[in-house]
């Protein structure tokens, strides 16, 4: 694999080390649950060349993975919070100490810049640390007020659901794996994870750190293959399902899980808006907007694809936004020189190209970018700003999932809010303002699971102690925070009669107790006791 040659006139930093080998790939094959002889080609997006032949799993392999995980889960659940905490904290340290190998793999497999890949390492470590330290507090059980004070006591305990089925995409393999797998492990569950073929190597390397830290190998199984081949088997075998991907596929997963009353959390598509208010510093706002739109080449569920700018600042902001975007360095090096990398596949390039071409055909104007860069690599595409986007254009309402953003001018806050909320999606949103109070006020009116003020997505995305998820067509359930742990357990209410006073069991007994019980209810209400 060789680095692409970059003309001196191109705003790029391709580097010379993108051909650095990944000698451990063959070793990782042993960590995939596969008894078939079938393989799938994993490409290196920087060059389009073959990177690895990935073994594929069958439905039988999925069933075997669940069987082994269930046996391992029994001992893991009984090991206790202290043991699981120690193991996960060791994994946290191994992830950080092995970051260079993880970064090389992640870049080579996804086409990210090293900076964008580092976000994933930091996120995976943060998720691991939070869940290791929070699990006992969140899931340790607690006393609850009894409806019969002094006559009965009540406690709530949490029992692990069993083995979770986790289905993750290729775009953020480390972050998205960690946000579902780690809380499952911390809660005492096992995991069977279906990794997207293009992100499997990064996931397997992350898993290796956890196994070396003390997680039983059978407890976290990884299977690979097309969704049409093994996806249903992963969902059918799970005691709880975590899915990240498109809304269309998510609906299919939800329907299948519902047939067996299996719980599910779904993080689905987004068409995320950013509002730029008229009190911003245009240059600073432009830099924030560019990162929010073009990080990981827009191949991020929470990246911004719609910008609504108040008219009073629109001309200056757009000028600065175009300048910042055109100055972004495209590159394929395994270092920190490049600002943006490449799209991950031909399918991604085709979708982005189609959306931009359709917008131009219907009258949109390209303010920056708008073209592929085959001189840098097969899937490079310039970060693109469009104005004049109208509802009939593909990029207006449907998710591009690439480095394309539309900019629209609005006159008032209310107009901006209505436009931002006019979407079938509601995953992430952003508000840029010179006033924290004003920004927070506008943020409170936006229909999204996460809203960032004076940042694009990293504030909420990195807040692993707070819930993350979507509304409307962007998903169901939440990951991260206490909510992310609680989805992997079943609450069990245990009540014990104290024997202080026998409860009535006959009509005569109820006749004697009715008056005192009514008095008790009124007294509790007066005392504001729940």
Tell me, rounded to whole angstroms, the distance of Cα 159 from its chain centroid.
25
Do the Cβ atoms of 114 and 335 come closer than 8 Å? yes
Q: Which of 264, 255, 293 shows the shortest CA–CA distance to 432? A: 293
Q: What does DSSP say about strands 240-244 and 163-168: parallel, antiparallel, or unpaired? A: parallel
The DSSP secondary-structure symbol of 231 reads: I
Q: What is the 3-state secondary structure (H, E, C) of 81-144?
A: HHHHHHHHHHHHHHHHHCHHHHHHHHHHHHCCCHHHHHHHHHHHHHHHHHHHHHHHHHHCCEEE
**Cβ contacts of 120-124, under 8 Å, gap ≥ 24:** 120/172, 120/173, 120/174, 120/175, 121/95, 121/96, 121/174, 122/462, 123/174, 123/175, 123/178, 123/179, 123/461, 123/462, 123/464, 124/95, 124/174, 124/175, 124/177, 124/178, 124/206
Q: Which of 267, 305, 320, 382 is catalytic?
A: 267
Q: Which of 242, 293, 301, 395 is catalytic?
A: 301
Q: Which of 503, 470, 505, 458 shows the shortest CA–CA distance to 148? A: 503
Ramachandran class of 475: left when φ > 0, alpha when ψ lies in -120 to 50, beta otherwise = left
Measure the N-to-C terminal CA separation of the chain; round to a whole number of Å. 67
Do the Cβ atoms of 301 and 269 come closer than 8 Å? yes
CB atoms within 10 A of CB 154: 15
Kindly give the interhelix angle for 99-110 and 114-139, rounded to the nearest 10 degrees.
120
E-assigned strands of 181-314? Answer: 190-195, 220-224, 240-244, 263-267, 272-276, 304-310
- Residue-wise DSSP of 419-442: HHH-SS--SEEEEE-S-HHHHHHH
CB atoms within 10 A of CB 367: 19
CB atoms within 10 A of CB 81: 16
Q: Rg for the chain (alpha carbons), in Å? A: 26
* Residues pairing with 12 in the sheet: 330
Residue 301: active-site member: yes
State residue 5 phi and psi, 5-degree precision.
-80, 135
What CA–CA distance (Å, rounded) separates 488 from 184? 6
Q: So which residues are the catalytic ones?
A: 267, 301
């Amino acid at each position: 694999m060789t680095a692409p040659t970059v003309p001196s006139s191109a705003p790029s930093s391709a580097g010379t080390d993108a051909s650095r080998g990944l000698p451990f790939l063959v070793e990782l094959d042993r960590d995939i649950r596969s008894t078939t002889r079938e393989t799938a080609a994993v490409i290196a997006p920087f060059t389009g060349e073959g990177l690895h032949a990935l073994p594929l799993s069958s439905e039988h392999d999925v069933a075997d993975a669940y069987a082994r995980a269930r046996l391992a889960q029994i001992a893991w659940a009984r090991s206790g919070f202290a043991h699981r905490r120690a193991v996960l904290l060791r994994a946290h340290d191994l992830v950080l100490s092995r970051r260079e190998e993880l970064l090389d793999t992640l870049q080579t497999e996804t086409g990210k810049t090293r900076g964008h890949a580092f976000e994933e390492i930091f996120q995976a470590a943060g998720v691991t640390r939070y869940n290791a330290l929070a699990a006992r507090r969140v899931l340790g059980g607690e006393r609850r007020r009894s409806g019969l004070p002094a006559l009965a006591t009540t406690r709530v305990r949490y029992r692990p659901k069993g083995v979770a089925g986790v289905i993750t995409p290729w775009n953020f393999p480390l972050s998205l794996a960690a946000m579902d797998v780690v809380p499952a492990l911390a809660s005492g569950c096992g995991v069977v994870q279906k990794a997207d073929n293009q992100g499997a190597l990064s996931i397997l390397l992350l898993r290796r750190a956890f196994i070396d830290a003390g997680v039983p190998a059978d407890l976290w199984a990884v299977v690979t293959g097309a969704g049409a081949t093994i996806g249903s088997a992963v969902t059918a075998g799970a005691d709880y399902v975590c899915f990240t991907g498109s809304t269309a596929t998510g609906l299919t997963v939800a329907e299948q899980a519902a047939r067996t009353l299996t719980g599910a959390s779904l993080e689905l598509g987004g068409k995320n808006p950013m509002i730029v208010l008229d009190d911003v510093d245009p240059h600073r706002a432009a830099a924030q907007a560019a990162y929010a739109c073009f990080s990981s080449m827009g191949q991020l569920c929470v990246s911004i694809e719609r910008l609504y700018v108040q008219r009073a600042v629109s001309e200056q902001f757009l000028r600065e936004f175009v300048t910042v975007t055109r100055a972004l360095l495209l590159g394929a090096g395994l270092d920190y020189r490049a600002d943006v990398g490449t799209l991950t596949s031909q399918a991604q390039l085709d979708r982005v190209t189609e959306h931009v071409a359709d917008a131009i055909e219907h009258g949109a104007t390209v303010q920056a970018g708008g073209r592929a860069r085959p001189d840098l690599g097969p899937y490079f595409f310039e970060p693109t700003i469009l104005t004049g986007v109208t509802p009939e254009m593909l990029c207006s309402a449907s998710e591009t999932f690439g480095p394309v953003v539309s900019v629209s001018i609005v006159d008032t806050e209310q107009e901006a809010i209505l436009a931002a909320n006019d979407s079938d999606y509601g995953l992430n949103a952003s508000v840029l303002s010179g006033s924290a109070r004003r920004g927070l006020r506008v943020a409170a009116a936006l229909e999204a699971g996460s809203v960032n003020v004076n940042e694009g997505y990293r504030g909420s995305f990195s807040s692993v102690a707070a819930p993350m998820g979507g509304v409307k067509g962007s998903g169901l359930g939440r990951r991260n925070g206490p909510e992310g742990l609680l989805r992997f357990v079943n609450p069990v209410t245990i009540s014990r009669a104290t024997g202080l006073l026998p409860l009535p069991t006959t009509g005569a007994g109820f006749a004697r107790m009715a008056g005192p019980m009514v008095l008790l209810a009124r007294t509790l209400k007066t005392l504001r006791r729940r």
